Amino acid sequence: MSSTAISGSALALLERMLLIRAYEEKLIALSAGGQFPAVCSSFGQEAAAVGVVAALGAADQILTNHRSAGHLLARGADPGRMLAEVMGRVDGYCRGRSGSLHIAARELGVVLTSTIVGGELSLATGVALAQQTLGRRGLVACFFGDGAAGEGIFHESLNLAATWGLPILYVCENNQWQAYVHRRETMLGEHIAPWAQSLGVEAERVDGNDVFAVHAAAEAACERIRADGRPRLLELSTYRLRGHLEPDDPQAADAAELALWRERDPLRHCIATLLAGGHADAAGIERMSRAAHARIEAALAFAEASPYPAADELLADVYA
């Protein structure tokens, strides 16, 4: 990474990653304390979320999956409202009705969070078609994992997007795990990108733990989509450092593999790059880390002070 490639915006990327990590750590601790049902964290995948979302424009739409906290926070979501939502409080983004698995935030362009594996893939084509038909600016970024890529809807979605020429950035966060099953137990190949290419979608594999590489690839892909309106796919190689559900530890993971990926922690990589290039110092990074944790403590206080929804809201927005 050349010195010219790292500007002041690099510190903003690190700042967002530190906030996501602090949020996830708090979520894990609260879940372990039994304060709400088990949640799915994206601990260890911060660079993938931050690098891609930082490349999106205000008019772009986002569809994501059950490990959505990083995408939402990278988009600028208020951690207090996010914690309030997870805790079922009225000041959450969906007034406490969605929990962590179905958060939507229209004001941020986050159309939905889908707990159904591949559910966001089934809707991304529709959202992009609406954007195109209505003449709206903005592409659609669709986040999913390697498990969803094994679903039939992956092929259906990409096939339609390629055939209809839809402005979709497909982002596969290949974190090596599909719930409690390792990727190698369900896939013969190592990568998802060739599947996309066989369907006529340009695809690129990127180190998903290098936020600078992710951001550069996402910016280039978005630029090409805006130029020709056709879909692209980024496969981000990363690793889920926690279990499927919090507060589970990744007990099923091979110890050597887990140790290898912990050494490649995206925050560690980003910090080392900035320090080596003289773009930050240890004291400054420590201040940023403390500020992130302080912000999450304030967010928790906000969420805990938020009331539960009134009983007469129980059936609101229920149509069947």
Residues 134 and 161: beta-carbon distance below 8 Å: no
Question: Does residue 88 fall inside a structural domain?
Answer: yes
Instruction: Say what the pLDDT of residue 250 is.
Output: 67
Q: For residue 247, is the peptide bond before it cis, meaning its omega torsion is within 30 degrees of 0?
A: yes
What does the mean pLDDT of the chain come to? 92
Q: Which domain holds residue 285?
A: 7-304
Q: Rounded mean pLDDT of 185-202? A: 92
Whether the pLDDT of residue 209 is over 90: the answer is yes
Contacts of 122 (CB under 8 A, 6+ apart): 153, 156, 157
Q: What is the CATH number of the domain that holds 84?
A: 3.40.50.970
Angle between helices 266-276 and 282-305 (to 10 degrees): 140
How many domains would you assign to the chain? Answer: 1
Whether the pLDDT of residue 75 is over 80: the answer is yes
Question: Does residue 311 fall inside a structural domain?
Answer: no
Q: Rounded mean pLDDT of 30-56? A: 90
* Prediction pTM value: 0.93
Instruction: Say what the pLDDT of residue 247 is.
Output: 76
Task: Give the DSSP H or E segment for 273.
Answer: helix 266-276
Instruction: Say what the pLDDT of residue 36 is.
Output: 76
Buried b (16+ CB within 10 A) or exposed e, 258-292: beebeebbbbebbbebbeeeebbeeeebeebbeeb
- What are the DSSP calls for 153-216, one per residue? HHHHHHHHHHHHT--EEEEEEE-SEETTEEGGGT-SSS-SHHHHHHTT-EEEEEETT-HHHHHH
Instruction: Say what the pLDDT of residue 251 is.
Output: 63
Buried b (16+ CB within 10 A) or exposed e, 67-89: bbbbbbbbbebbbbbbbbbbbbb
Question: Does residue 279 fall inside a structural domain?
Answer: yes
Contacts of 10 (CB under 8 A, 6+ apart): 212, 270, 274, 279
> For a pLDDT cut of 90, what percent of the chain falls above it?
73
Question: Does residue 315 fall inside a structural domain?
Answer: no
pLDDT grade for 297, boundaries at 50, 70 and 90: very high
pLDDT grade for 253, boundaries at 50, 70 and 90: confident
Instruction: Say what the pLDDT of residue 296 is.
Output: 98
Instruction: Say what the pLDDT of residue 172 is.
Output: 97
Q: Rounded mean pLDDT of 253-281? A: 92
Question: Does residue 48 fall inside a structural domain?
Answer: yes
Question: Does residue 317 fall inside a structural domain?
Answer: no
Residue 216 identity (one-letter amino acid): A
Instruction: Say what the pLDDT of residue 182 is.
Output: 86
Question: Does residue 312 fall inside a structural domain?
Answer: no
Instruction: Say what the pLDDT of residue 152 is.
Output: 94
Q: Rounded mean pLDDT of 267-282? A: 93
Q: What is the pLDDT of residues 229-250, one digit of tens each?
A: 999 999 999 999 888 878 776 6
Q: Rounded mean pLDDT of 26-45? A: 86
Residue 204 identity (one-letter amino acid): E
Q: What is the pLDDT of residues 96-106, one digit of tens each?
A: 988 888 899 99
Instruction: Say what the pLDDT of residue 248 is.
Output: 73
